[in-house]
Amino acid sequence: MKIFTIVLFLLIFNIFHSSSEFTELKEIKRIVLEETPDVIINNINGVSFNSDSSLFIVSDYYTGNVVPIYDNNGKLIKHYKPNIYLTDTVIKKGKYTDSNYVIATLDMVYMNSDYQVDSIDYISNIINTYNYSLFFDDTTIYILAKIRAYVINKEELNRPKKNIIIAQFPAFIKINIKTDDINVFLIDKHQLFWCQTFGFFYYKENNLFLCCTQTNIDLLKSNMRKYCISGFDLNGHFVNDFYELPEEYIKSGLNYSIASNSDIIKNKNNELIGIFPYSERIHNFSNNSSININDLPKTNNDVFNKFIKKELRIENLKDSLLFYFPNRISNIELLKNGNYLVTIFCHYWKIPEDYVQNGYNIVREYTPEGKLINDIKIKAVNDDGVIKYITYTSKEDALMVFRFSDEKGWTVIYSKFE
């Protein structure tokens, strides 16, 4: 009887514990993002607010097909879509990173049968994208874009049949949202590094954009500095390098990829603070220090160590590589009180189809000194759909949890810590 009582107690405790494992946030309001046939949001990887947080932009750097601007009620105020005419700027002003190639004009491609591409549908090959957007001021937004154009090897120019390829050119797109005037600034390739379009940050004090950069140099065999964040002026010209890859990225061989994109904020001491998706640290870019993100159910450090010991080989994993890491540090935000809000997506999957169903989000508040203030756990999936992004709005002093479902579309839930 005594054993039965103990077993029954443990069973009841486990049921209670599992049901209270997730945190119920205090919801203060919710909105639904308006979509139209021209504005379909596929994913959200970033949110930028104007000065009083009355408007916000959502970014999708995977698809990059639209830049929507919303008000606080979810009403679509304006939107901007990339078009093929952006390629004209590359043809007129662009330089390909490999000096052995020249940029082909569209006339060269369309009108001359000597030029051969993989597809005869020339227009569909030119897919320009608006990958990440931010408010520069209340009337101006900047977009980090990827513009495509045809290039051809100089040796092919005198041959009867010429093979041409599609190349990508990163650019800043400046738009006045009052007049819709657009300016395009191509971004320099500097030294051995080039700009990626995962995201960027405006460093107001230096009047620079900080962008993720990468190289194809084997970092373990090179003594060169392993920079991954560089500064560019507003016209796209390179100014200086800012920060190197985390040590665990280099030693493990993970190096550059979408895994190296950083989310950056500025704290109240005007220091640059950022995170990398699989580095379980909050990095201070200004003084080269860091705060450890400890006490997660599982740690990415175990996976990094397996790569270092060659128990796992990156070259054999390809697209499944990132699923081996149990945690993804999604983004970092600065709270009104000066603390840092860090969002972590955790997944402990058995098969790829369980990736989201078995996942959840951890949201933490840290002081700049590294003290953990709040630590909550949110279900990835509920009746409102799948969590796609979590950010913070100073206007409401609240979390904004973006969820998507086929039935409800995009629901944004404003919540506070209990």
pLDDT tens for each residue of 107-119? 666 656 665 655 5
Residue 346 pairs with which residues in a beta bridge? 327, 360
Cβ proximity of 149 and 94 under 8 Å: yes
Average model confidence (pLDDT) for the chain? Answer: 86
CA–CA distance, 399 with 125 (Å, rounded to integer)? 40
Alpha-carbon distance values, 163 to 110, 114, 151, 254, 377 (Å):
13, 9, 9, 33, 53
Closest CA to 363 of 405, 411, 410, 416: 416
What's the pLDDT at 283? 98
Q: What's the mean pLDDT in 68-86?
A: 96
231 pLDDT above the threshold of 90: yes
What's the pLDDT at 14? 39
Q: What's the mean pLDDT in 30-39?
A: 97
**Is beta strand 238-244 parallel, antiparallel or unpaired with respect to 227-232?**
antiparallel
What's the pLDDT at 313? 80
**Is beta strand 372-379 parallel, antiparallel or unpaired with respect to 359-366?**
antiparallel
The letter for the amino acid at 268 is: K
Q: What's the mean pLDDT in 163-172?
A: 88
What's the pLDDT at 355? 54
Please state the φ and ψ torsions of residue 394, each to the nearest 5 degrees.
-70, -25
- Residue 59 tokens, joined: 């970014």
CA–CA distance, 199 with 258 (Å, rounded to integer)? 10
Q: Give the residue with greater pLDDT, 54 vs 99.
A: 54
Q: How many CA atoms lie within 13 A of 302 on its CB side?
A: 8
The segment with the largest mean pLDDT, out of 87-91, 169-173, 190-194, 350-354, is 169-173
Q: Give the residue with greater pLDDT, 194 vs 412.
A: 412
Q: What's the mean pLDDT in 238-265?
A: 86
Which residues lie below 8 Å from residue 144, measured CB to CB, with a gap of 6+?
61, 130, 131, 132, 133, 170, 171, 172, 173, 197, 199, 200, 209, 211
400 pLDDT above the threshold of 90: yes
361 pLDDT above the threshold of 50: yes
What is the helix, strand, coil percentage profile of the chain, to 5? 20, 45, 40
Q: Give the residue with greater pLDDT, 337 vs 6.
A: 337
Buried b (16+ CB within 10 A) or exposed e, 369-383: eeeeeeebebebeee
What's the pLDDT at 159? 73
What's the pLDDT at 148? 92
CA–CA distance, 394 with 397 (Å, rounded to integer)? 4
What's the pLDDT at 7? 39
Cβ proximity of 153 and 173 under 8 Å: no
Q: What's the mean pLDDT in 290-306?
A: 95
Taken in order 65, 81, 96, 240, the sign of the CA dihedral is negative
The letter for the amino acid at 15 is: I
Closest CA to 241 of 233, 259, 252, 229: 229
Q: What's the mean pLDDT in 120-148?
A: 89
Across 7-21, 40-54, 266-280, 377-391, least confident range? 7-21
What's the pLDDT at 246? 93
Closest CA to 161 of 171, 149, 152: 152
Q: What's the mean pLDDT in 40-48?
A: 96
What's the pLDDT at 15? 36
What's the pLDDT at 234? 97
Cβ proximity of 52 and 64 under 8 Å: no
Taken in order 190, 148, 63, 394, the sign of the CA dihedral is positive
Structure pTM?
0.89
Above pLDDT 70, what percent of the chain?
Answer: 82
Q: What's the mean pLDDT in 156-184?
A: 88
- Residue 310 tokens, joined: 């060659």
Cβ proximity of 109 and 121 under 8 Å: no
163 pLDDT above the threshold of 90: no
Across 13-17, 94-98, 185-189, 406-410, least confident range? 13-17
What's the pLDDT at 60? 92
Q: What's the mean pLDDT in 120-127?
A: 68
Which residues lie below 8 Å from residue 407, measured CB to CB, with a gap of 6+?
none
Confidence of residue 330 (pLDDT cuts 50, 70, 90): very high
First to last CA, the chain: 41
**Is beta strand 289-292 parallel, antiparallel or unpaired with respect to 281-284?**
antiparallel
Q: What secondary structure, in 3-state letters, does 321-354 show?
A: HHHHCCEEEEEEEECCCCCEEEEEEEECCCCHHH
| DSSP SS3 for 31 | strand
What's the pLDDT at 12? 38
Please state the φ and ψ torsions of residue 85, each to the nearest 5 degrees.
-70, -15
The segment with the largest mean pLDDT, out of 91-95, 293-297, 349-353, is 293-297
CA–CA distance, 181 with 327 (Å, rounded to integer)? 41
